[in-house]
Amino acid sequence: MMSILVIISLIGLLMPETPGLWVPDEHFNAANVAWMITATIFVLMMTPGLSFFYGGMVGKKNVISTILQSFIAMGIISVLWVVVGFSLAFGDDIGGFIGNPMTFFMFNNVGAKVDTFLCPTIPLALFALFQMKFAIITPSLITGSFAERVRFSAYMVFMILFCLFIYCPLAHWTWHPDGFLRQLGVVDFAGGIVVHASSGVAALAGALFLGKRKHEFHRPANIPFVVLGAAMLWLGWFGFNAGSSLAADGIAIKAFLNTNTASATAMMAWVFVDCLKGQKPSAIGAAIGAVVGLVAITPMAGFVSVGQSIFIALVITLVCHTAVHWNNKSSVDDALDVFPTHGIGGIFGALLTGVFVNGLLAGNIEGFLMSILAVIIVFIYSFVVSLILYWITNKMIPMRVSEENERVGLDMSQHNESYNFADFGERELVEYQENRDSSDNLKK
């Protein structure tokens, strides 16, 4: 992978910059630019937030690896997006399915000029940066499903393949003006289909492909991390949803309001359901509920009323809570319940978008049917292609660590670091450090 990075850097060195690329044109709106810069920063903050959210849930031997699996995406996907990802998602349309990879190759002609079709009031470079943050967090969401058993190097390869063959095509289908789902009238305001449904389904495929953990039971390493991560996600989601208006306008304010209201509703609903089942209110339950509410409102945040956002959040929270309960009783080891929360939340959010947004409530049965069709297409495509990508990656680099490395923990076996050496076990730590550099152990 280092050789690929070197080649990319040499290509970048030899590519000339278009003269006048960074001179704004007359359509440049300063207020919109200021808001979208802010929104982009907020969306990027969601990935470190996800790192803490997931990292606090796993066992103490896997905290650093779990955090790094999200954090590393900020590096890998950022470079990939500049090279070819943005072109595949938003380049010149090819048959409604994919963008021309050469349209914005190496961000060629991506500067301060606006694009009439993609971003009529903000620079194309800012639009590309905003969309980049969505591309970064999507593969990071998947990591919770195969937590505590995936080989880090294999995961990096899979992340690249997922971005190229799943995320970019779905973004083009749904958000590009000529994408075939958008042409069918499918509405996805901020990523219910593109981000959450796709990552949730890929997570389900990953849990099935990698199989169950050898040592499933563990106590969460750091519950305050989980709450901190949820709080960062909640804050960053304002940029995620309100920023998707691409303007400092009423739609952005409406999305902002609905995002906060839905998250608050879902958090309380999750805690109340736990209490009705005879459980004590928990910090982890509150954190998960808040995130489920954010997922639920994402595909329609800028369109529904605040009262509808409460109803939508409540319904989807009840569905996701039930899905988590079923998942915990199933044989599928989705470690951090990615599919029951993000996958199910994104899918039902997309379906309810077909009810509340130009759908059933407006007497538009066709709009609702198109939402159902989009969910079916995205589910099948994401699941099948994900399994293929897992298989390809596994042929290149075994995706699952050895049983010994899983026992030791991914922090030590993959990164030679530990969240807390005191909890590692002195004898176990000495034995592993004595053997970690041997060729036999590396082969494991």
Residue 12 falls inside a structural domain: no
**Rounded distance, CA 134 to CA 240, Å?**
8
Structure tokens, 327: 């998942």
Where in the sequence is the domain holding 142, given as residue range(s)? Answer: 21-404
Residue 442 falls inside a structural domain: no
CATH number at residue 26: 1.10.3430.10
Mean pLDDT of 40-64: 96
pTM beyond 0.75: yes
Does the CA dihedral 24-25-26-32 come out positive or negative?
Answer: negative
Residue 339 falls inside a structural domain: yes
pLDDT tens-place string over residues 344-371: 999 999 999 999 998 788 888 999 999 9
CA of residue 250 relative to chain centroid, distance: 26
What is the reported pLDDT for 217?
A: 62
Is residue 132 very low, low, confident or very high in pLDDT (cuts 50, 70, 90)? very high
Mean pLDDT of 71-76: 97
State how many domains the chain has: 1
Residue 25 falls inside a structural domain: yes
Q: Is the pLDDT of residue 424 over 60?
A: no
| Percent of the chain predicted with pLDDT > 90 | 84
What is the reported pLDDT for 437?
A: 47
Average pLDDT, the chain: 93
What is the reported pLDDT for 363?
A: 85
Is residue 397 very low, low, confident or very high in pLDDT (cuts 50, 70, 90)? very high
**Rounded distance, CA 439 to CA 116, Å?**
57
- Closest by CA position to 53, among listed 45, 243, 409: 45
Residues 6+ apart with CB under 8 A from 329: none
Residue 3 falls inside a structural domain: no
Out of 257-261, 278-282, 359-363, 412-416, least confident range: 359-363
What is the reported pLDDT for 431?
A: 54
Residue 117 falls inside a structural domain: yes
- Closest by CA position to 46, among listed 262, 298, 267, 232: 232
CA angle, 43 then 46 then 49, to 5°: 160
Residue 10 falls inside a structural domain: no
Query: Is the CB of residue 104 less than 8 Å from the CB of residue 90?
Result: yes
pLDDT tens-place string over residues 230-248: 999 999 999 999 999 999 9
Mean pLDDT of 401-426: 81
What is the reported pLDDT for 133?
A: 98
pLDDT tens-place string over residues 286-313: 999 999 999 999 999 999 999 999 999 9
Q: Is the pLDDT of residue 429 over 80?
A: no
Mean pLDDT of 390-409: 95
Residues 6+ apart with CB under 8 A from 36: 122, 126, 127, 130, 243, 246, 247
| Percent of the chain predicted with pLDDT > 70 | 94
Residue 196 falls inside a structural domain: yes
What is the reported pLDDT for 18?
A: 85
**Partner residues linked to 98 by β-bridges:** 94
Out of 132-136, 141-145, 201-205, 359-363, least confident range: 359-363
Out of 189-203, 208-222, 255-269, 313-327, least confident range: 208-222
What is the reported pLDDT for 428?
A: 54
Q: Is the pLDDT of residue 425 over 70?
A: no
pLDDT tens-place string over residues 13-33: 988 888 888 988 888 899 999
Mean pLDDT of 371-396: 98
Q: Is the pLDDT of residue 185 over 90?
A: yes
What is the reported pLDDT for 438?
A: 46
What is the reported pLDDT for 219?
A: 86
What is the reported pLDDT for 439?
A: 40
